[in-house]
Structures are given as structure tokens and as C-alpha cells.
Chains A and B, each alone.
Chain A
Amino acid sequence: KNQVEQSPQSLIILEGKNCTLQCNYTVSPFSNLRWYKQDTGRGPVSLTIMTFSENTKSNRRYTATLDADTKQSSLHITASQLSDSASYICVVSPNQRVELIFGTGTRLQVFP
């Protein structure tokens, strides 16, 4: 069963535009939700980590939001750059468990 669902599966935008990626999860209870960026063939890199009590967290041009009531999170990318082309993965950490549950990611392509 998929406990972390992401949409869209893929997205193409022009350089300089903004975009928003969505994450819905069923993991409950959870201790934190993370967004990672993964370049093709490379390891994921952490963008944000939010506990269940946080609503928003920013990291440069990346802003993540969390609604624990609706079990939804979003990642907003502002003023996209070509280097933003990557997969963005939503990850949920179940409460009292070490393992992370990964979504399958949104593949973002930024064109000039």
C-alpha cells in the first residue's frame, strides 16, 4: 500500500517560473515530514524537515507547508532555475519508528 503519494508524477516548467508539488500521506502518527531533492543517479539531499506541529519551513527558494489535519504537504519552488531539474521526494517518518517512508517523487524539468 502507498502511504505517501505525490503529484504530479512529472512536471515541466520554464526557467524563472514558480511551481508547487503536492504530497498526501496516510502515515499516522508521524514525527516529521521531509522533502528531498534527488538528481538523477545521485543520493537524495535534504531540503526541509518539519515536525507535525510546524506549518511551514523555508530553505532559500524552497518553501514547504504542512497541514497535519488533512495530511497534506506541499513544496513551492520560487523563480525556478535549470539546476532545479531533479526528482523531489516527500518522506514521512512514522512516530516511534526509525525508518523513513518515501514517496515515489515528482520529476521536475526546468527548460530555458
Chain B
Amino acid sequence: DSGVTQTPKHLITATGQRVTLRCSPRSGDLSVYWYQQSLDQGLQFLIQYYNGEERAKGNILERFSAQQFPDLHSELNLSSLELGDSALYFCASSVAVGLHNEQFFGPGTRLTVL
């Protein structure tokens, strides 16, 4: 158990819909990262927040957005869902934003778009 929690564990929805994925970082971690892992693909970095502020953006679609709240939990919002958005979405957290900071991953949310 990494100490990072993600809810829900599974999510099934239809094309065109909007969903929100939630992540609570490890106690004491200020930085949160979101990743997407499609079937048989490597993890793709989406976005990073540190202490409530966006710090880095990766291959995140405009239909996707995220935020980190004052209590440091984070939410990833996915809208106008397409079949290709079906994937595992992982959240990770680290103490700070240093390049050598170890990232601890949550168990993931499996999103299925029908």
C-alpha cells in the first residue's frame, strides 16, 4: 500500500459523458501527478500539481482538466468522453517537485467508455 488513494476503482460510462476521478496523496506529500495508461501502452504523463498550483503539463487533452485543492487532494475531470479515453488513470504523489523525488502511485481508476 503506497498511501495514495484513488476513487472510484472502476468507472463505466458512455461516450459524450463527463467523469471526475479523485486522488488523495500520501500524508505530507505536496505534489500530485496524473498519468494515463491505455491497453498495452506505457504510462503517459498528463499533468502535475504542487501545493495547489499547476507545475507541469504533459500530453493532456483540452477535454481533460485537473485541480488540486487546499487539502491537497486532486481531481481529474474528463469530459466529452470518447471510446479511446478508456484506460487506467493513475495518480502519484511525491514530497516535493525535485527531479529525484520518488513518486508513489495509487491503485488507479479503470475507466471504460462504451
Instruction: Say whether, besides A42-B108, A102-B42, A49 and B100 are in contact (CB < 8 Å).
Output: yes
Docked-complex contact B106 and A32, CB < 8 angstroms: no
Interface size of B in residues (CB-CB distance below 8 Å):
26
Q: What's the dominant secondary structure at chain B's contact region?
A: loop
Which of B2, B90, B103, B106 is packed against the most chain A CB atoms within 10 Å?
B103
Give the number of residue pairs across the A-B interface with Cβ within 8 Å: 58
Residue of A97, A100, A105 touching B103 (CB-CB under 8 A): A100
Docked-complex contact A99 and B45, CB < 8 angstroms: yes
A51 adjacent to chain B (CB < 8 Å): yes
B4 adjacent to chain A (CB < 8 Å): yes
A80 adjacent to chain B (CB < 8 Å): no
Docked-complex contact B107 and A100, CB < 8 angstroms: no
List the 3 closest A-B pairs by CB distance, nearest first. Answer: A43-B105, A102-B42, A99-B45
